[in-house]
Structure 1
Amino acid sequence: MLYVYIIIISIIIGLLRNGKLSSLSQISLKRIELIVLACLIQAGLIFLGSKKVKFVLDYSYYMLIFSYIVLLLAVWYNKKLEGIKIIALGIAFNFIVIVVNGGHMPVLLSSLYKAGLNDFALILKEGTYVTHTLITEKTLFKFLADVIPLSPPFPDPSVVSVGDFLMFYGVFSLIQNAMVKKELNPEDRSQNSEDKELNPEA
């Protein structure tokens, strides 16, 4: 849900900058099925993990890692899009902190309270949540963990990481480039330049 707000805010800012909503059609994402697959895996882990499905509990580490590999693969296919490198860096940061902490994204307890997520804090205290865990003294790379609270009146209170912020900015940059600059894919720009050289009267 958080990304929906980021997209909406990005579009509103683009319109305020005299950008065109129709220009978003220039965003030609490749291998969208990989992005969908990664999202489905992570959503499935959360849902089935809450139902205590044994297979998910036993293999959540590998499934979560696999979902991030799929995401990074999707990024590679779209590497020429504006903003995608920032998104890739954000995914990589999250991937690193999850891998070194046993397949869980560490979350700062005090940040959960600041964001008003008391119920989620109680769930993490049980230690059975498949994708997240509380930060402890043994947590590695704490600075990459979910430590930044997005508190009310933010419409979707949450606790996010540095990697998340990089991905937010990457999405914002992607949309701004599409709506305002109308220059999105360097490959397409190069092709257009070649076409003009071949057809100078066009």
Structure 2
Amino acid sequence: MLLESIILAILIGLLVGGKLSSLFDVNPKRLELLFLGALFQLFAFWSVKLHLGWENHWTIPFSHSLSYLLLIGFTLKNRSYGGFSLVSLGIAFNGVVIVLNSGLMPVDPAYLPEASRQLLQAGTGTHGILTDSTRLNILADILFINIPVLGKQLFSLGDILIDLGMGIFIIMQMRRSENRPQ
């Protein structure tokens, strides 16, 4: 849902008079942490998606967990930007539940199609089935919404905080040019 939230925030930013070009006036600190975190997430996701044979290997949960530590580091270094504290908290919530559940984000199986449920039960991917032994299940992917056009979305409390924080950041940054002397 992050992409949809970013698009919505940009649209709101434009509606309230913000400028898209202001999004390019950002000078984040420790950008390498963001890129490394994204790289580890992409590695975990595509290793599974491309069936590289590492699905049941320690490298996927490790890289998935490590990505959250790197992303938290990036957002904490940039918490002076509006919304980034919420993004940090959301990433921390997701990261904690993932680390405590062996590198997998627990997912409520009630909302999954049968094929997805079978894959998760087989232990493939960066997600796992929510069970009675799941730790901190309140932070797992347990929230569900069916959005017209976008379809079914399963998400966590951390995802909501990340989306809200990014929305605040984008709108504030787009409106930032209004407060600068011309």
TM-score, normalisation: structure 1: 0.79
Aligned counterpart, 2:26: 27
Contact 1:65/1:103 (<8 A) preserved:
yes
Contact 1:101/1:139 (<8 A) preserved:
yes
SS in 2 for 1:57: coil
Residue deviations 1:89-108 (CA, integer Å, cap 9, x gap):
00110111111111110000
Return the alpha-carbon distance in structure 2 between the equivalents of residues 122 and 54 of structure 1.
18
Return the alpha-carbon distance in structure 2 between the equivalents of residues 19 and 118 of structure 1.
44
Q: Does 1:177 align with 2:149?
A: no
Q: Does 1:122 align with 2:140?
A: no
Aligned counterpart, 1:38: 37
Gapped regions of structure 2 (runs ≥ 5)? none
Return the alpha-carbon distance in structure 1 between the equivalents of residues 54 and 173 of structure 2.
44
Gapped regions of structure 1 (runs ≥ 5)? 184-188, 197-202
* Counterpart mapping for 1:158-177 below 5 A: 158-177=153-172
Could you tell me the percent identity over the aligned residues?
32
Return the alpha-carbon distance in structure 1 between the equivalents of residues 176 and 46 of structure 2.
40
Contact 1:148/1:161 (<8 A) preserved:
yes
Contact 2:54/2:60 (<8 A) preserved:
no
What number of residue pairs does the alignment pair up?
181
Residue identity opposite 2:27 in structure 1: S
SS in 1 for 2:57: helix
Aligned counterpart, 2:98: 98
1:71 to partner: Cα distance: 0.8
* Counterpart mapping for 1:66-145 below 5 A: 66-112=66-112, 117-126=113-122, 128-145=123-140
Superposed CA RMSD in Å reads 2.5
Return the alpha-carbon distance in structure 2 between the equivalents of residues 8 and 64 of structure 1.
25
Residue deviations 1:78-119 (CA, integer Å, cap 9, x gap):
12111110000001101111111111100001133xxxx443
Larger Rg: 1
TM-score, normalisation: structure 2: 0.87
Return the alpha-carbon distance in structure 2 between the equivalents of residues 28 and 151 of structure 1.
36
Contact 2:76/2:85 (<8 A) preserved:
no
Structure 1 runs (4+) deviating above 3 angstroms are: none
Contact 1:111/1:148 (<8 A) preserved:
no
